[in-house]
Amino acid sequence: GDVYDRAIPPVEAVSLLAQALARLSERAAVVVTPGNHDSAIRLGFGAALMREGIHLRTRVAEVGVPVELADEHGPVLVHALPYLDPDSVRFALAVAPGDDPVEPLARSHEAVVTAAMDRVRADLAARSSAHGSRLRSVVMAHAFVLGGQGSESERDIRVGGVDSVPAGAFDGVDYVALGHLH
């Protein structure tokens, strides 16, 4: 997350990202999600056009769908969560994909990240069951997790604690890679 420092980045920043993705993808799989400083729509518009090895995860609808990677030890599922602004996603994450709408989630990061992680855990359980053993899992998220310390470079978006997520929201996965503290 926070690929750029603003929703409409300068041309130089877009060029730098293109160069960085090209170089990184020559050596490893790259998974990118938008942060609170990015525009998910602008960052994700070309996701289907990216070269092999570059995975842009910008859509809330894809929260429970992992990037499937593998190494010498077998498969690894990477669930990449874009920055989940409560006002923007609390309706979409209130129901399972394809279900009828219900009451929206609470207007907090804890509520929307917990709902997203419920989708991740359900996907992980289903895939592990089909595989016959528990699969290794990584979650990438852009959230302020309680206990972390922000720096002066972060724009303050706190309003009475709605910005924070308890670390327990990420239970059930092997590794959590967090952004937002910069």
pLDDT tens track for 144-175: 888 655 555 555 555 445 578 898 999 999 99
pLDDT value at position 180? 64
Contact 105, 115 (CB under 8 A): yes
Q: In the block, which residue shows the tokens 């303050």?
A: 156
Residue 6 has pLDDT above 90, yes or no: no
pLDDT value at position 182? 43
pLDDT tens track for 81-140: 999 999 999 999 998 766 776 789 999 999 999 999 999 999 999 999 999 999 999 999
Long-range contacts of 124-133 (CB under 8 A, 24+ apart): 124/66, 124/77, 124/79, 124/172, 124/173, 127/66, 127/77, 131/75
Contact 145, 178 (CB under 8 A): yes
pTM: predicted TM-score of the whole model, two decimal places: 0.84
Residues 42-62, mean pLDDT to the nearest whole number: 84
Contact 96, 63 (CB under 8 A): no
